[in-house]
Structures are given as C-alpha cells and as structure tokens.
Structure 1
C-alpha cells in the first residue's frame, strides 16, 4: 500500500501541473539487467524553477498555494525504506520527469493477510 501511495502522489503532482490541458505519460522499465525497476511519471506542465529543484523533496516545501508540501517527501521516504530512491528532472517551461526506482523482487510474492487478521509478534 505504501508503494501505491508513492505512485499516487507522483500522479497527483503531475495532474496538478498539467491542469486541464497537458499530457502525462507513465512508463515502467527494468534496469541493471533486471535488478532494478523504474516507474517514470512525465508531465508537460510548467516545470520546476531551478531555484526550487534542490528542495522539492524537503518536508513542508511546496511551490503551490494549496497542499501540505509532504507529497514528494513521502515518496522519497517510501522509496528509500524499500531500498530505492526517487529523482526529479525538470526545466522551467518544459515539464517534469519523476523517476521512482526500486530493487526488483527476487522471491515469491508475499500474500497480504486476510482482513481482520492480527499480524505481529508476541512477547
């Protein structure tokens, strides 16, 4: 669910950037001979000004009048907690490309517990 939240945050940022007119492209690819997975969200919005690019992942930093400034900070935290990372490439007037990367899964998928099932350890 956390990875889903990270992707939703990237998509929401892209949607806010393009408004009613613009394009968003989402792509998925493997890198490093299949050892890494990248999810890229690219938009045709106004881009991020150079003076703000180094701060976009800081908690509570935002260039928007609405919002908490936590969306991209949360994406970064989730990615790092899963052994990955996130980058943002942007040029004012030329859109933005956010790339979320994670190590590829190597084992069997983990089943989520049934609703109402307690999960944890006992002492």
Structure 2
C-alpha cells in the first residue's frame, strides 16, 4: 500500500486502544488484528470481544466529538476516518459474533493506486 506510515500507525493504534478499552469489563478478552489482500485492496481488521456497538452508535461513530466513553474528546475515530479518506481508503464497523466489534479498514493496493494515478494513454 502507498500510505504515510505514521498516519497508518495512528489509525492502528487508535483502533487497538479503543478495542482494549471496550474489553475492560469483559470476562473474555480477545483482540485480533489481521491483514489480507482482497482483490485490489488490502484489508486490515481489528476485532475485539468487548461490549459491542449499537446500531444507533454505529451511525454516529465516525462523527467528530461523538463518544460512548464519557471521557476523552470523541475525536479518535473521526481522525481515523479522515486519515483513511486522505489515502483513498475507508473503514467500516461490524458486529463481531458472539460479542464485540470488528473494524475493517480497506486500503487500495499499490497496483490499484498506480493505475488510478497513471495518465490515460492516447493513441493517434
């Protein structure tokens, strides 16, 4: 992938920190981080066995200043979304059965990025 390493690191750290916080009161605490190639995208998944996220919260999750924690600024996931948008990438949240949340980040693979940035060839 063609990304700013520090910015991608910030995305991963934010998602992992949120997952760890979501599991504070869980009896079973499992954090799963994985990557995989998926067509012309690279997929990064951060999944936890925490308290999960309601459908109502999912709609607001990436808005600035929205938080379910009662502390903090509510900017973490908004920043994640902004960083990914700047890299032509995106993030979505899903339920992680039987408990918790699963954040899926899709980033264009280098070949896909290069193809988009390559000028169109004109034949005479």
Q: TM-score, normalised by structure 1?
A: 0.78
Deviation of 1:14 after TM superposition, in Å, equals: 0.3
* Equivalenced residues, count: 104
1:20-75, Cα deviation, whole Å (9 max, x unpaired)? 7511000100111xx21010000000101222110000000001011111111111
Q: Are residue 41 (structure 1) and residue 46 (structure 2) matched?
A: yes
Q: Which range moves more in the overlay, 91-100 or 45-54? A: 91-100
Q: TM-score, normalised by structure 2?
A: 0.78
Gaps of 5+ in 2: 1-5, 112-124
Candidates 23, 27, 37, aligned match of 2:34 = 27
4+ residue runs of structure 1 moved beyond 2 angstroms?
A: 90-93
Distance of aligned partners of 1:57 and 1:88 in 2 relative to their CA distance in 1, 3 Å threshold: same
SS at match of 1:11: helix
- Cα RMSD of the aligned pairs, angstroms, is 1.8
